Amino acid sequence: MRHSTRIAVGPVQFRIGSDWRAPVAVLDRLYAGYPRDDTRPADATVRLFAARPWRRWLRPSVQIGGDFVIPDALPLPLSMGLLAAEMGMNLQVALGWRRHLLLHASAVARDGRAVIMSGESGSGKSTLAALLGEDGWRLMGDEFTLIDPAGGDALAFPRAVSLKNAAIAEVAARVDTARLGPLLAGTPKGDIRHLIPRADAIAAMHEPARPALLLFPRFGGEAAIEPMGEGEAFVRLTEASTNYVALGEPGFAALTRLVRETPAFGISYPDSTTGLALVEQLFAEAVR
């Protein structure tokens, strides 16, 4: 491929190739502070390419390829090349990674104990994680949390946080603009802007954390905390995992252990301030 770069996020080494310079240039800026080992072979490959040769120049559009692809996926305009790269990277992890149980969940940690937040998009799990990451917590990731089947620890996947819509302004008000990516307006997922995690979160990305709390946030409505049984947490997390079935028995063992050892709650919150307070309160009770 004409342009390429390498990115290491948590345990995954990516190789990203592109027909255009722009997506690689913006990735290099977002991931400049991540540890880089150019001699380490890549676990996963992403290709950003023009589906037809003339689409490199004429209304350029980016097709997402790589080791794993979604058949019939629609291309994105070149201005959204960064989103294409992010989707390509997510896809390789979601479909290809087998070392850990993958949860589609955000996570933060404090004193070696992790809060894992799982929910549909729009639940606010990314926003809560991003805000906690600016407020004394170590950001572990906004998209995937990895569970080590052997020991049960949570492992981080702190890619650049994908802020969406209203969350952009809320987070942008609290961080240095140098830590923000370009605004991608009007994407199929709404407005998107990336946040580079704090340097200490990136430096600690290989440090495991013991799960302390499983949260299933829901944005909107009165503040509420609802304890959740092991069975429901288990079923919800099987749905939030992209490799639970593929892992077989080790995946089952890891997930049953996680829900048995970790208290789980559904939380509703009308605004971020309330959401953050609920997380702090439940964490304090869980680690007491």
Residues at the contact surface with another protein, assessed by CB under 8 A:
1, 13, 15, 17, 38-43, 45, 47, 49, 65-68, 96-99, 246-250
CB of 252 to another protein, least distance (A): 11
Nearer to another protein, 20 or 283 (CB): 20
Nearer to another protein, 7 or 247 (CB): 247
Residues contacting residue 109 through CB under 8 Å, at least 6 positions apart? 115, 137, 138, 140, 154, 156, 209
Question: CA–CA separation, 39 vs 86, rounded Å?
Answer: 23
Other CB atoms within a 10 A radius of the CB of residue 32 amount to 9
Q: In this structure, which amino acid lies at residue 144?
A: F
Task: Work out the angle at residue 118's Cα, subtended by the Cα atoms of residues 75 and 147, and round it to the nearest 5 degrees.
Answer: 95
Nearer to another protein, 67 or 170 (CB): 67
Nearer to another protein, 47 or 193 (CB): 47
Nearer to another protein, 97 or 157 (CB): 97
CB of 46 to another protein, least distance (A): 9
CB of 165 to another protein, least distance (A): 34
For residue 82, which of 128, 16, 2 has the smallest C-alpha distance?
16
Nearer to another protein, 111 or 239 (CB): 239
Nearer to another protein, 39 or 177 (CB): 39
